[in-house]
Structure 1
Amino acid sequence: MAQSQTEHAEAQLAEIELLLSMFPSQDELEVEQVAYAELRSYVEGTADCPPDTRPELCVKIRTHTGVDVSLSCTYPSDYPAVLPEIVVRCGELSRAQHTCLVSGLRSYLRENCTGEVCVLSAVDWLRDHTHEYLEQDDSNDDDGAKGTTETQIGETFTRLWIYSHHIYNKSKRKNILEWAKELQLTGFSMPGKPGVVCVEGLQAACEEFWARVKVLTWKRIMIRHREDVPLDSVTQNAESLRRFDGFEEAAFDPHGNRGNHMDLGQLFQFLSERGCAQIFQLYFGVEGR
C-alpha cells in the first residue's frame, strides 16, 4: 500500500512540474503552493507522511477559436488511479452547453486516461472541442438556464447531502445560497452547529457547487451521502426527481447561548415532508421522531 501511495505522489508531482514548465506564468497556471510543497517534500523523502492537503491547480486556456476557458483540478490521494475532481468555467457557455461539455470531457477522460495523469489531455481536449459545444443550439433552453430534456438524457441526476461541523460565517452562508441558485440547484442549507446542506440537480452542477464550497475554510466538511440517478428516459427527467422546489436557508427554532443550535425534531419533520426522513439517521446516528 505504501509503495502504491508513493507512486501516486510521484506521478502527481511529475505532472505538476511538467505543467509548470509548460505554463510558467501565473496568468496561465495557478498551483496551490502549500499542497505542492508538501507533496514535493514527501516525494523527496524529507517528509515521512503523505501530505494532508490535496494538490489543486487551475489552468487558463485559450481555445483555437479564441474562447477563454479555465480548468480547475483537485487530486484525490490515489490519483492517477482515479480521475481528478475537475471544474470547468467558461463565460460564453450557456448552462446546457456547459453541462454537455463537462459530460463530454469526463467521458473522454474515463475512456482514455484512467490510470494515467490526464490534466494535459483535458487541456488539449478543451482547446479542440469547446467550440463544438458553443455551436450547439439551445434556443429552447430558457436562455440556457435549465437545459432541455434532450440534453439531460444520458446525464445523471445527483443529490448531495453535505455535513459541516458548523456554518456560522455570513459570507459562507451567502455564497451557499448564491451558488446554488446560480447553478440551478434546489435544496436547503441549515446554518448553526452542525451545519447541513442538501443540493440536487444535474451531476455536473452539483459537483461544481461542491468544488466551490469545499475549498472555503472549514473546521470539518464532508459529503455524508450522495444519490445518483441516470436520466435514461424522457419521463425520468431532472425536474421529476427533485424533492425541493427551490433553494433556501432553513432555520428550526434556533436556541443556545449563541442561537446556533437548531431543533432537530423540526429538521426531521422538514425532511419527512419531502420524503427524505432516512437521511436523519445518516447525519445523526439516531432515528428521528
Structure 2
Amino acid sequence: MSYLEWAESQLAELELLSSMFPTQEELEVTDQVALAELRAYVEGSAPRDSPPSSRPHFLIKQKLDTGSTEMTDVILSCAYTSEYPSVLPEITIRCASLNRAQQTQLHADLSAYLIGNFQGEVCVLSAVNWVKENLHLFINRSLSTAPAPKKEFASPRSRSQEVFSRLWIYSHHIYNKAKRKNILEWSKELGLSGFSMPGKPGIVCVEGSQSACEEFWSRVKVLTWKKIMIRHREDIPLDHQGEDSRNVESIDCLRKFSGFEEAVFDPHGNRGNHMDLGQLYQFLNEKGCCDVFQIYFGIEGR
C-alpha cells in the first residue's frame, strides 16, 4: 500500500468512529490540526509528495460494567503511525481500576490479539470491543501469587543482592507525543536517569536499580512499535561492605546522567525527524559513554 492508501484507510476509520461515538465525551480528537492535515492530504488539497508530518491522536472514552457496584471508566488513547494499518496503531489503555501489573498484561494481551487477527487491517474498533469483553478478567484476576515487588533499599543482606543497570534501547523511530510523554513520566516515576532522543532512529537510555529498569522496559516494549530492542545493557552488582565503608557502591555514584531529559540534536530532514549524530556523539562523550555509539551505529564517532 502507498502512503495515500494508508491515509485513506485512517480517515475512513476516523469517520466511522465519529459516527459510532458522536459526542466528545465518547471520542475526543486531541490534535485537530493533524486531522485537518490528514483530510487535506487524502482529498488532494495538500501536496502528496510526502505524508503529513503530524499524526492523528484521539481518545475513546467508555464506561464499562466489570461486575463492580459502579461503572468503570476506561480511556483508549490511540495514535496512528504513518504506515497504519500495515503497522499497528499505538494504543494505551487508562483505567484507574487496574494496577501496574494488570495494565502491563492487558496491553500485552491486546497487542497479541491485534497482531494475530488484524495485521494490515484497521483495528481500533476491534480493540475497543476486545477491551469491553475482557477488561473484567484483568480487574478481577487474583494477584495473590504474584511476587512482591523488590525494594531498592532494604536490609543489608538484601542490599548485597542489588544490581545497578543501564539499558540502551533502540527504536526504529520515536515520533508520537503521547509515547514521548510516557517515557519522560515513567522514568521520573521509577527514579531513573538517562535520556531519550526522538526522531529516526529513536534512542532511550535509562539507568538505576535493575528492578526499576526492568519495569520501565516492560512498560515501553508493550506499546506499538515498528521495531524496538535493547541494543546494549550494563549490569553492575553493588558491593555493600558496610554502612560507613568508603568502598560501598551506591546506585547514585554509578549514574552517568544527573536526571532524565529528552535530548534533541539539531533536527533536520524534510520532516525534521533526523538528528545530528555528531552532536549525539559529543553528548555521549561528555557523559563518558561514547563507546555505545559504535554499538548503535556500527561506526566510531568523532
Find 1:85's aligned residue among 50, 71, 90: 90
- 1:17-166 paired onto structure 2 within 5 Å: 17-31=15-29, 32-49=31-48, 50-65=51-66, 66-139=71-144, 140-142=146-148, 160-161=169-170
**Cα distance between partner residues in 2 of 1:76 and 1:209:** 12
TM-score between the two structures when normalised by the length of structure 1: 0.63
Cα contact 2:102–2:138 (8 A) shared by 1:
yes
**Cα pair distance change 1:72/1:178, threshold 3 Å:** closer
Cα contact 2:104–2:222 (8 A) shared by 1:
no
1:189 matched to 2:195? The reply is yes
Deviations 1:174-205 (A, max 9, x none): 986642143x48552389xxx97414535551
State the aligned residue count.
227
**Cα pair distance change 1:176/1:104, threshold 3 Å:** closer
Cα contact 1:74–1:86 (8 A) shared by 2:
yes
**Cα distance between partner residues in 1 of 2:15 and 2:63:** 21
**Cα pair distance change 1:48/1:264, threshold 3 Å:** closer
- 1:171-186 paired onto structure 2 within 5 Å: 178-182=185-189, 184=190, 186=192
**Cα distance between partner residues in 1 of 2:88 and 2:28:** 20
**Cα distance between partner residues in 2 of 1:82 and 1:51:** 17
Q: Aligned AA for 2:56?
A: P
SS at match of 1:69: strand
Once the 2 structures are TM-superposed, how far is the Cα of residue 62 of structure 1 from its aligned partner?
Answer: 1.9
Once the 2 structures are TM-superposed, how far is the Cα of residue 161 of structure 1 from its aligned partner?
Answer: 4.7
Q: Aligned AA for 2:25?
A: D
**Cα pair distance change 1:242/1:103, threshold 3 Å:** farther
Cα contact 1:185–1:206 (8 A) shared by 2:
no
Alignment identity in percent? 40
Give the structure with higher Rg (CA): 2
* Gap regions ≥5 residues in structure 2: 152-166, 174-180, 207-212, 237-250, 260-279
Find 1:205's aligned residue among 219, 228, 240: 219
- Tell me the residue number matched to 1:9: 7
**Cα distance between partner residues in 1 of 2:46 and 2:91:** 28
- Tell me the residue number matched to 1:278: 292
Mean Cα displacement is larger for which, 133-142 or 46-55?
A: 133-142
**Cα distance between partner residues in 2 of 1:43 and 1:74:** 18
**Cα distance between partner residues in 2 of 1:113 and 1:281:** 35
* Gap regions ≥5 residues in structure 1: 146-157, 165-173, 212-222, 230-240, 253-260
Once the 2 structures are TM-superposed, how far is the Cα of residue 33 of structure 1 from its aligned partner?
Answer: 0.7
